[in-house]
Every structure is written in C-alpha cells, then in structure tokens.
C-alpha cells in the first residue's frame, strides 16, 4: 500500500473516506498503513464519541488498575477529548444501542461513567484527570456498578442499607456513594473539592421500573421477530435508537426519589469515624432532609439501624430530635420498633439498645407532644384483629390522605417484648430498658389519645410469653386504658384470670361496658369452678337483666352458679319468672336433671326457699304439668341415685 496514490490524499479527504468505513476497517487501515494511522486514529475516536458516547474512556477507566494502565487511560482520555471534539462525552451512562439493550449484550462498563470506574478502582489520579476534563461529580450512573461487582463486605453493606431504608433499589448512584461504600477518604475529599452534592442514590418507584422493563421486553420481542429483516429496516432501528437515547437522557432524574449521603452515613456504624464526620460537616445543612418513601431523616435511619456513631454525629450536627416521618413517628419510636425485628443475638441487641439509651441521654424525648395528627375523616375506621373501633392504628390505610401519630415508645417497647421467650437473648436487656425508661419518665398512666393503650395491646396478646410480666409491670405503673377499650379489656380480664392477680384497669370506665359484655362476663364467671370471679363482678354495679343472668347460670350447668343466682335475685322476680311456660320451680327440676353436680338435697333446699318466697308448687306449665309431673316425665335411663329423695319431697308439698 506504500505505493498507492491514496497515501497522497490530503487529511481532509482521508477523514471523509474514514467516516464511511466500519470500525474494523478503520482499525485495519490504521494498523497496516502508517500514513493513514493518524487519520484512522482520529476517525476511531471521533466515531466512538458520536456513536458510543466515548466508550473507550470508560473501558480504559474500567481497566485502570495500576500506573501503566492509568497512563493508558489518561492518554485515551486526552485523545478522546482532542479528536471527539463537541461529541466528546464523559457523563453518559447509557447503552450505545437499542439492539444492545434488548439483547442484553452490553458489558458492565458501558452502563457507567468513567468517573464511577475510577472511583471504584480507587484511582485518584485518573479521577482527578477526568474531573479536570469535565466529568460531572454529581452525575449518577446505573446502580449495577456496585450491585453487580461487589465483594462480600460491600454486599452486606448494601443489604444493611436496604433493611434500614424502605424500598431502596439503587436505580442510579452518584460518584459520592461509590467513594463512600469504598471508604475512600482521599476520593471523597477530591469529589467534595469538585463540588459533589449530597445526593447519593436516585430511585425509581416500583411502577416506573416495571413499565421500563415491560417496554424493553416488548422491543426485544419485536427485534427477534424481525431479526432476518434487520438490514432492510436499519434506518428505522437507528431512529428508534436515537429517540430512545433522547428519552433516556431526558429521564426525569429530578422526579426520582433522592436519598442523601447523610442517610447512608447515619446508617453505617462501622465506617471510619473521620470519614463520617467529614460528610456530616460538609452537608450539615441537609441534616433534617427527608428521603425515602417513609420521609425519614438521617436521624430516623440512624436510630433504626442502631448506629450509635451515626446518631451522635446527627445530633451533634443539629438534627431535630423529634422530627416526624411520613407516619408522624419520631426517630426514637422508629428505633424502638426495630427491637421486635432484630436477630436473636445478644450482641445485636446490646448495640441497638446502647444506641437508644445514648439518644435519650442526649435529649431524645420519651413522651414527645403530638405531631401533625389529623382527625380521621370517618369515625368508624376499623382495622384487622383486635383494634379499637374508631381509633386509628398502625395498620390503617394511609392512601386516603389521613395521617395520625402512628405509634409511641411505650407501645413499641411492649410490642417488642411480648413475644420473647424466657430464653431469648435480648429479653433481659429489653426489660431493663423498659424499667430504665420508666424511671426516666416514660408515661403509661395516660395513654396517647390516638393510639391503643399499652395495657390494651397486652390484653390483645395475653397468651404471649411476656404478657403476665407486662401486666404486672403496667399495673405497678398505674397504666390505664381508653374508654373505647373497656369492653374488650373487661372481657379479656375475665377470661385470662387476671382478676386473680391484677387490678382492674377498666373500673374507671364501667359506664362504657355494654350490657352484652356484662352477660358474657357472667358466662365466663359461671364457667369457673368457684364463685370468686362472680363475687367480684357482683360487687361492681354492672347492670344486667335478672332473667338473662338466670338463663346464663342455667347454661353453665354448674350447681354453684345456679344456687348463688337464686340466692341473690329478688324473691318477687323469682316467683313470677317464666321461661317458655315453665315457672321457677319447673326450671329448678330441669336444672337438677341436667347438672351432674346438683344434688337432690340442694334442690330440696332451693325449692323450699322458693316456695317460702311465694312460688306455687301446684303451678302447671304449658303442657299442664306441675314440677313433680315434669320431673317424672323427663326421667331417662340414667337416673341419679338421690332422685327418690327429691320425688318424695315434691309429693309432700303437693
């Protein structure tokens, strides 16, 4: 080729010819003809800038792992800048082709910026060169830079962040985030000098991600169907590519959920303290910024993750201790709730509880005033399970625009402790935390207006391992309940035999206990083997019809319940009582036959008392039977041994 007249062509003509060649041909021409080498080199970098967003720079940054490869990367950067001219691009993180996208043919370096790779490789010299050539320290890149190429330690960090920040996807990540998870202080300082911002992660909502994935799948199916005809519609594909790139470049990053680097710093209790301090000092004005779907501040995240370092730095930087998230919860409430989600490991509990204690010692309020609590639009809200009718709770629907205080420290401590078995490694630590918080002023005697009372929560889960201990503790703390909780609490108090050991917190709300609940309480009392609960209920002015109490006693089939009821109901009511045509004496005879523990001697005593009070022994029921005739009519094969005594007594009365 040395004798070819093409070597005599002017540079401008060579550039035009090269612009019409494919990349492999340009490469071959540059390698085989020294006179065309300069033009070929320019053409390759120019083509790379126009068609691939200066992919060569990203590739070399990806491979720059030592001094030699760094020199090559910087050389490539300079040549791309020189020959790529106006199309030279350092801040694109998009794939170069729609076909590459749908066929998933890209390599990882193509969906990142060169600066991200320089940071990932901890290559400060290359990062500085990129920044000097125009790399944007705020420009995010696809999250696969860290999610696809991570070691075990960083993978654990990412999972830790996901656990402490709701719905975190790492859709796009800023350079500062890569430097942070690598704990590279030199790189962080370089980025901060280049005016990197506090935005670390940009996340799309789930719906947006699904729409994009569906669109890509649809395009992939279309491409597969017309794969044989690709050459004929190449121009159309290129138009689709250009349109797609424009749309991707104009992606509404500003509409994504932005999460600041302070949130990640607050969650990371293991990072170098100096590095954390550097970030908190630099971005102190963002200390109360709310991010994530929960509108959490860095302090919320610190308490949730149990990071004492992050919490202390946030407080010292000026974080609002009682800031409210989307659910109107303070950081301390969020942190206490995590006790119920921690792994059953003593060290984990100790670290988390240390963080909670330290925060309270630094001024965290155990009983903050109500936040932006709004009354519900409807007064008949009901949740699932044992939730107070009309009182919002933490499982209620938030989509209707209604918001209220979602929980508090007292309730979350109770809920965390309730399910713990006696051998749980964190039980004694949580118990002590509850006792200490109570000594420091945690209020139980006045439950929060819009929340279930702690006692009510315990009653709802009275079969849990720690229910008895908590009942005793809350009683000692003079805990009370809401009037709306009185019905359920009263019945639970009866059923759980708490009346044997615990004072009745429902007593101030007697007027709120409806009649049906009173009858249910009598039924519970009559089901016992002794009259202790019945005696307690009778000492309280709980109104209920005598007839209903009498029938409840009959249904129990307990001799003592029937006899004490007869003894306490007024004589004039008993003598006039009738049920389905049976008088009180007929009913006594029936009860004798149905109750194994009711003897003839007891029946005789009761009938004698009733007759003396005015009951008519000769009264007939609707079947025209007196009590004796009814007794003989109902006799079956299994007769009581003392039956003759009762028959003989009734005969003497008649």
Domain definitions of the chain by residue range = 321-373+387-480
Give the lowest-confidence range in 113-117, 506-510, 604-608, 616-620. Answer: 506-510
Is the model's pLDDT at 401 over the cut of 50?
no
Q: Which of 438, 431, 523, 531 is nearest to 476 (CA)?
A: 438
Which residues 6+ apart lie within 8 Å of 652 measured at CB?
Answer: none
pLDDT tens-digit readout, 271-295: 889 999 999 999 999 999 999 889 9
Is the model's pLDDT at 123 over the cut of 90?
yes
In terms of DSSP H, where are the helices of 454-599?
454-460, 467-476, 486-495, 515-526, 532-538, 546-556, 559-568, 571-576, 584-594
Q: Share the mean pLDDT of the chain.
A: 80
pLDDT tens-digit readout, 458-476: 999 999 999 999 999 999 9
pLDDT tens-digit readout, 286-343: 999 999 889 999 999 999 999 999 999 999 999 999 999 999 999 999 999 999 999 8
Higher local confidence (pLDDT), 48 or 531: 531
Query: Do 623 and 580 form a contact (C-beta atoms < 8 A)?
Result: no
> What pTM does this model have?
0.78
Q: Could you tell me how many residues make up the chain?
A: 654
Write 566-569 long-range contacts (CB < 8 A, 24+): 566/606, 566/609, 566/610, 568/538
Label each residue of 20-55 as H, E or C.
CCCHHHHHHHHHHCHHHHHHHHHHHHHHHHHHHCCH
Please, what's the b/e burial string for 277-312 (b: 16 or more CB within 10 A of its CB; e: otherwise)? ebbbebbeebbebbbbebbbbbbbbbbbbbbbbbbb
pLDDT score at 33: 64
pLDDT score at 493: 87
- Angle value at C-alpha 80, between 77 and 86, nearest 5 degrees: 125
Greatest C-alpha distance within the chain? 148
Q: How many angstroms from the chain centroid is the CA of residue 145?
A: 28
pLDDT score at 205: 59
The pLDDT confidence band at residue 515, using thresholds 50, 70 and 90, is confident
Kindly state the average pLDDT of the residues 426-438.
97
Which residues 6+ apart lie within 8 Å of 321 measured at CB?
Answer: 299, 315, 330, 331, 359, 362, 363, 364, 365
pLDDT score at 112: 79
């Amino acid at each position: 080729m040395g004798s070819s007249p093409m070597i005599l062509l002017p540079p401008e003509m060579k550039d035009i010819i090269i612009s019409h060649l494919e990349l492999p041909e340009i490469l071959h021409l540059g390698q085989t003809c020294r006179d065309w080498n300069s033009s070929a080199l320019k053409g390759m970098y120019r083509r790379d800038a126009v068609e691939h967003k200066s992919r060569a720079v990203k590739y070399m940054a990806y491979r720059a792992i030592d001094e030699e490869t760094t020199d090559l990367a910087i050389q490539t950067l300079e040549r791309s800048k020189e020959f790529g001219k106006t199309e030279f691009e350092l801040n694109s993180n998009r794939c170069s082709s729609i076909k590459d996208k749908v066929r998933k043919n890209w390599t990882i370096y193509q969906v990142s910026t060169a600066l991200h790779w320089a940071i990932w490789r901890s290559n400060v010299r290359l990062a500085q060169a990129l920044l000097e050539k125009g790399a944007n320290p705020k420009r995010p890149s696809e999250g696969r830079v860290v999610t696809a190429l991570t070691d075990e330690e960083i993978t654990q960090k990412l999972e830790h962040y996901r656990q402490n920040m709701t719905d975190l996807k790492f859709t796009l990540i800023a350079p500062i985030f890569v430097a942070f998870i690598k704990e590279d202080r030199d790189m962080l300082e370089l980025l901060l000098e280049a005016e990197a911002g506090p935005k670390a992660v940009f996340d799309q909502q789930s719906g947006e991600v699904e729409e994009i994935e569906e669109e890509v799948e649809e395009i992939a199916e279309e491409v597969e169907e017309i794969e044989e005809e690709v050459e004929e519609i190449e121009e159309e594909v290129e138009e689709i590519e250009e349109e797609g790139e424009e749309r991707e470049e104009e992606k509404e990053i500003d509409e994504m959920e932005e999460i600041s680097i302070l949130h990640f710093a607050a969650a990371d209790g293991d990072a170098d303290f100096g590095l954390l301090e550097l970030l908190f000092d630099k971005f102190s004005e963002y200390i109360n910024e709310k991010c994530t779907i929960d509108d959490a501040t860095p302090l919320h995240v610190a308490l949730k993750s149990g990071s004492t370092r992050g919490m202390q730095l946030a407080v010292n930087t000026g974080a609002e201790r009682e800031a409210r998230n989307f659910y109107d919860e303070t950081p301390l409430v969020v942190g206490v709730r995590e006790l119920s989600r921690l792994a059953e490991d003593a060290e984990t509990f100790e670290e988390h509880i240390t963080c909670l204690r330290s925060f309270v010692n630094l001024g965290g309020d155990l009983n903050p005033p109500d936040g932006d609590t709004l009354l519900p639009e409807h007064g008949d809200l009901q949740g699932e399970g044992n939730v107070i009718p009309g009182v919002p709770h933490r499982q209620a629907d938030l989509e209707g625009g209604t918001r209220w205080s979602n929980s508090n420290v007292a309730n979350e401590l109770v809920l965390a402790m309730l399910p713990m078995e006696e051998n749980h490694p964190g039980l004694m630590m949580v118990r002590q935390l509850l006792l200490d918080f109570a000594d420091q002023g945690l209020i139980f005697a006045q439950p929060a207006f819009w929340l279930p009372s702690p006692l009510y929560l315990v009653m709802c889960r009275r079969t849990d391992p720690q229910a008895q201990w908590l009942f005793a503790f809350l009683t000692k703390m003079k805990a009370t309940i809401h009037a709306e909780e009185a019905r359920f609490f009263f019945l639970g108090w009866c059923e759980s035999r708490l009346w044997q050991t615990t004072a009745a917190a429902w007593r101030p709300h007697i007027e709120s206990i409806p009649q049906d609940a009173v009858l249910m309480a009598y039924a519970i009392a009559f089901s016992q083997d002794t009259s202790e609960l019945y005696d307690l209920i009778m000492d309280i002015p709980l109104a209920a019809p005598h007839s209903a109490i009498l029938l409840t006693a009959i249904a129990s089939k307990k001799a003592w319940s029937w006899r004490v009821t007869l003894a306490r109901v007024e004589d004039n009511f008993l003598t006039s009582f009738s049920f389905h045509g049976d008088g009180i004496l007929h009913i006594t005879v029936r009860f004798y036959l149905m109750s194994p523990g009711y003897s003839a001697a007891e029946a005789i005593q009761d009938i004698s008392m009733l007759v003396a009070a005015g009951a008519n022994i000769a009264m007939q029921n609707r079947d025209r039977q007196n009590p004796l005739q009814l007794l003989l009519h109902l006799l079956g094969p299994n007769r009581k041994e003392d039956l003759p005594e009762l028959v003989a007594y009734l005969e003497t009365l008649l």
